[in-house]
Structure 1
Amino acid sequence: MFTFHHFNFNVLDLERSLRFYKDALDLTPVRKKEADDGSFKLVYLGDGATGFQLELTWLRDRTEPYDLGEGEFHLAFSVPDLDAAHKRHAALGCICFENPAMGIYFIEDPDGYWVEIVPERK
């Protein structure tokens, strides 16, 4: 049986991304890997509730923003209180798209990746 393990986002400024994911989504590092020569760092973030992880990859020699194509992919998080989450993200200034008819919205991380926020289904 296959099970989800992790998803990767490549980032230009690892510390900035770590702050964003902590402030916006309460994600914290659960494991790290660094190349002996310092050429890359991998930090896996967890939500403390599931086993799924978001891997942030930093490459020392990368200086140009990543090409995210047409941005037609995203990661999604559910939340029990959508209104409270929306207020939090509005205060952080990271909401990039809202779809009130569907009851969802998106936030954008420092590298331009979109993260969908959906209400928890009961």
Structure 2
Amino acid sequence: MATFKFAHNNFNVLDLERSMKFYEEALGLKEVRRINGEGFKIVFLGDELGSEHQLELTWLADRKEPYNLGDNEFHLALRTDDYEAAHAKHEKMGCICYENTAMGIYFIVDPDGYWVEILPPVVEEKY
């Protein structure tokens, strides 16, 4: 039987440079590889710890309208080693879009409207 391991998640973006800047500033994600094709660019971002799971940002040259994210019921989640410092940074950036203090989590929103969940260090999951 085949086994599987997560590789990446994809977000399509309107302004690749703006999105890359946001993810580097907000989460420390940096470009690890790039594909430049005819009419598109794909950039894979990795975290500072070298996790194998990456965020793929796809830019399409002919796309001019914002993407319809529907009810935006999907998201990416990252765990931080310093929840309070991360929260303060994101609050200063003005990108916190939702907080669930009972669960001890919050979400930030990127320039294209995608939500990213911020989790505290592993202690004991509340959910």
The reply to whether TM is greater than 0.5 is yes
Cα deviation for residue 48 of structure 1 reads: 3.0
Q: Which residue of 1 aligns with 2:4?
A: 2
The match for 1:72 is: 73
Question: What is the CA deviation profile of residues 100-120 of structure 1, one whole-angstrom value per residue up to 9, with x for unaligned ones?
Answer: 111000000000000000112
The superposition leaves residues 68-118 of structure 1 with CA deviations (integer Å, 9 ceiling, x where unpaired) of 010100000001111100000011110000111110000000000000001
Q: Does 1:101 align with 2:105?
A: no
* Deviations, residues 30-81 of structure 1 (Å, cap 9, x unaligned): 000011x3x0000000003211100000000000000101010000000111
| Separation (CA, whole Å) in 2 of partners of 1:27 and 1:8 | 14
Q: Which residue of 1 aligns with 2:119?
A: 118
Matched residue, 1:12: 14
Question: C-alpha separation between the residues in 2 aligned to 1:83 and 1:116?
Answer: 14
- In structure 2, stretches of 5+ residues that fail to align are none
SS of match in other structure, 1:20: helix
Q: How does 1:20-99 map to 2 (within 5 A)?
A: 20-35=22-37, 37=38, 39-49=39-49, 50-99=51-100
> Separation in 1 of the partners of 2:74 and 2:29?
20
AA aligned opposite 2:102: A
Letter in 2 for 1:42: I
Distance in 2 (alpha carbons) for counterparts of 1:81 and 1:30: 24
Normalising to structure 2: TM-score of the pair?
Answer: 0.92
| Cα separation, 2, equivalents of 1:86 and 1:118 | 10
